[in-house]
């Protein structure tokens, strides 16, 4: 078990293509850290640099107290699980899990103990005699995890391990990996493009874009306090609503004005905007779909932010409904109770929870509040 330290890490490929730029991160021992971002953002490259599969162009990488830039990958005491981890087709599940240990000349009794323990943790004891061909996708991925577990590494590196599984299995395997982390009490570094995986599994999330870590924080902080438009838009489903607006002042109140509508901001937010000189400036405001509602009680509570809109589309998801609304150029998605009676073509009143509004600088795209 060990923590990791990445200091000013760069990855530059021939032709001066920079895949990772000035990446800094301290990962604590036993932490479950998730790198998330769109394809090509540098998350897998960073993971591969930790593994030693990619050379670090610049910067310092430590595992535990040891700088490992020049340490051979096999001596870094890590184990990797990939997206398409191929099992050895001619071997049973038991032999697949034991093979890595046999290569390391571990005594037979110890191998047997480790394999059986790992199989128990992963609930695949009944599959030990089977060949990979006789396994389902989820079972295969469990075996792949088992192969990594038996090595008892200091750090587990997982690169999109669930991407090849169907949606239902992914949910199951998320729980398996979460439990595994609790049981093994080891550091996990996990790469995914899937924000739900990131939010549900990570103790901290690193949101990446264009080789740069945009924000490193806990899932709730990333969701509630994104540092910029990219993070706010990337995390959350349905996506946060962004609206181009202007900050105005009327009768001593600070307003967000867009189209024919205005929202009166609470005093604490008003003070920040006034102090930072945003009055009269163009901004982008963001509000999450669940912070808007058509419920009369909600509207009663948020009198300063009522908007009349048209229902363009409704999606009943079971316990909740997504309404896709429009008003002129304004488009919004809201997430409300599944019992909502709103129908396509209806004109409805909605209110925005002004305390949950995010304001972003239009030029820098950074969060103002």
Partner 1 sequence: MYNFRAFLQELSHNANIRFNLVSEDGSLIFESNLGLSNAELFILPVYLGKTKAVLSCSKEYQVCSSLLKYTIENKYREFFSLREQFLTEILEGKEVSTDKVEKSIPFLSKGCEVLIVSVEGSRYEALNIIRQLYKEQDVLSSAFGDNVVIVGNFDDIEDHAKSIRDLITSDLYCKSCVSFSNRVYDAASIKKAYEDAKECMTLGKKFGLKEEIFNYNKMLFEKIVYNISIAVKNELLVIFKEKFNLFDSEMITTIDEFINCGLNISDAARKLYIHRNTLIYRLDKINKETGFDIRNFKEATVFTIAFLVWKENKWK
14 binds partner 1 (CB under 8 A): no
- For residue 324, the surrounding DSSP H or E stretch is strand 320-327
In degrees rounded to 5, what are phi and psi of residue 127? -105, 0
80 binds partner 1 (CB under 8 A): yes
Nearer to partner 1, 53 or 169 (CB): 53
Q: Which stretch binds partner 1 (CB under 8 A): 37-45, 62-70, 121-129, 354-362?
A: 37-45
290 binds partner 1 (CB under 8 A): no
Contacting residue, 49, 61, 63, 87, with partner 1 by CB under 8 A: 87
Q: Tell me the DSSP string of 44-84.
A: HHHHHHHHTSS--SEEEEEETTEE-TTS-GGGS-EEEE-TT
**Strand 292-293 versus strand 306-316 pairing type:** unpaired
> Which one-letter DSSP state was computed for residue 315?
E
Closest separation in Å from C-beta 212 to partner 1: 15
Closest separation in Å from C-beta 123 to partner 1: 23
Nearer to partner 1, 122 or 369 (CB): 122
- Angle (CA) 41-42-48 rounded to 5° is 155
Nearer to partner 1, 162 or 357 (CB): 162
Nearer to partner 1, 209 or 302 (CB): 209
Residues binding partner 1: what is the number (CB under 8 A)? Answer: 33
52 binds partner 1 (CB under 8 A): yes
In terms of C-beta density within 10 A (0-12 exposed, 13-18 middle, 19 or more buried), how is residue 212 classed? Answer: middle
72 binds partner 1 (CB under 8 A): yes
Closest separation in Å from C-beta 354 to partner 1: 30
Q: Which two tokens stand for residue 239?
A: 């996506």
Nearest Cα residue to 6 out of 48, 38, 37? 48
Contacting residue, 28, 58, 66, 90, with partner 1 by CB under 8 A: 90
Build a one-symbol-per-residue string for 320-359: x at contacts with partner 1 by CB under 8 A, - elsewhere: ----------------------------------------
Contacting residue, 16, 39, 185, 220, with partner 1 by CB under 8 A: 39
Closest separation in Å from C-beta 91 to partner 1: 8
Q: Which two tokens stand for residue 246?
A: 């202007």
Q: Which two tokens stand for residue 293?
A: 């509602």
Nearer to partner 1, 130 or 193 (CB): 193
Closest separation in Å from C-beta 143 to partner 1: 12
In degrees rounded to 5, what are phi and psi of residue 232? -60, -40
- Angle (CA) 95-98-104 rounded to 5° is 135
Closest separation in Å from C-beta 85 to partner 1: 6
Residues 185-224 that bind partner 1 (CB under 8 A): 193-194
Q: In what order do the strands lie in the sheet with 330-337?
A: 292-293, 347-352, 306-316, 320-327, 330-337
* 161 within 8 A of 145, measured Cβ to Cβ: yes
**Strand 261-264 versus strand 347-352 pairing type:** unpaired
Nearer to partner 1, 102 or 343 (CB): 102
Binding site for partner 1 (CB under 8 A): 17, 38-40, 51-53, 72-74, 79-80, 82, 84-90, 99-100, 102-103, 105, 108, 111, 132-133, 147, 163, 193-194
């Amino acid at each position: 078990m060990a923590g990791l330290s990445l200091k000013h890490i760069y990855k530059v490929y021939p032709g001066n293509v920079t895949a990772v730029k000035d990446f800094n991160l301290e990962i604590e021992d036993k932490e479950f850290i998730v790198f998330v971002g769109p394809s090509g953002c540098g998350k897998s490259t960073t993971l591969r640099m930790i593994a030693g599969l990619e050379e670090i162009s610049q910067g310092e990488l430590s595992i535990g107290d040891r700088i490992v830039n020049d340490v051979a990958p096999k001596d870094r005491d890590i184990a990797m699980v990939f997206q398409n981890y191929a099992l050895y087709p001619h071997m049973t599940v038991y032999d697949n899990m034991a093979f890595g240990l046999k290569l390391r000349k571990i005594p037979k009794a110890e191998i047997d103990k480790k394999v059986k323990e790992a199989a128990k943790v992963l609930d695949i004891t009944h599959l030990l005699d089977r060949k990979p061909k006789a396994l389902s996708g989820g079972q295969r991925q469990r075996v792949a995890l088992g192969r990594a577990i038996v090595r008892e590494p200091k750090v587990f590196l997982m690169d999109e391990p669930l991407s090849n599984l169907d949606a239902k299995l992914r949910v199951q395997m998320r729980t398996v990996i979460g439990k595994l982390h609790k049981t093994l009490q080891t550091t996990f570094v996990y790469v995914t493009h899937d924000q739900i995986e990131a939010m549900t599994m990570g103790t901290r999330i690193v949101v990446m874009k264009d080789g740069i870590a945009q924000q490193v924080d806990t899932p709730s902080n990333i969701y509630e306090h994104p540092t910029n438009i990219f993070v706010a838009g990337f995390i959350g489903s349905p996506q946060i609503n962004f609206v181009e607006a202007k900050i105005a002042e009327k009768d001593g109140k600070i307003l967000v004005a867009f189209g024919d509508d205005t929202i009166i901001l609470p005093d604490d937010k008003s003070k920040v905007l006034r102090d930072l000189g945003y009055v009269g400036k163009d901004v982008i405001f963001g509000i999450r779909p669940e912070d808007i509602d058509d419920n009369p009680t909600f509207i009663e509570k948020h009198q300063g932010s009522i908007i009349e809109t048209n229902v363009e589309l409704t999606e009943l998801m079971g316990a909740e409904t997504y309404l896709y609304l429009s008003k002129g150029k304004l488009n919004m998605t809201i997430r409300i109770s599944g019992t909502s009676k709103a129908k396509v073509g209806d004109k409805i009143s909605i209110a925005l929870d002004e305390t949950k509004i995010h304001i972003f600088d239009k030029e820098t795209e950074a969060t103002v509040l």
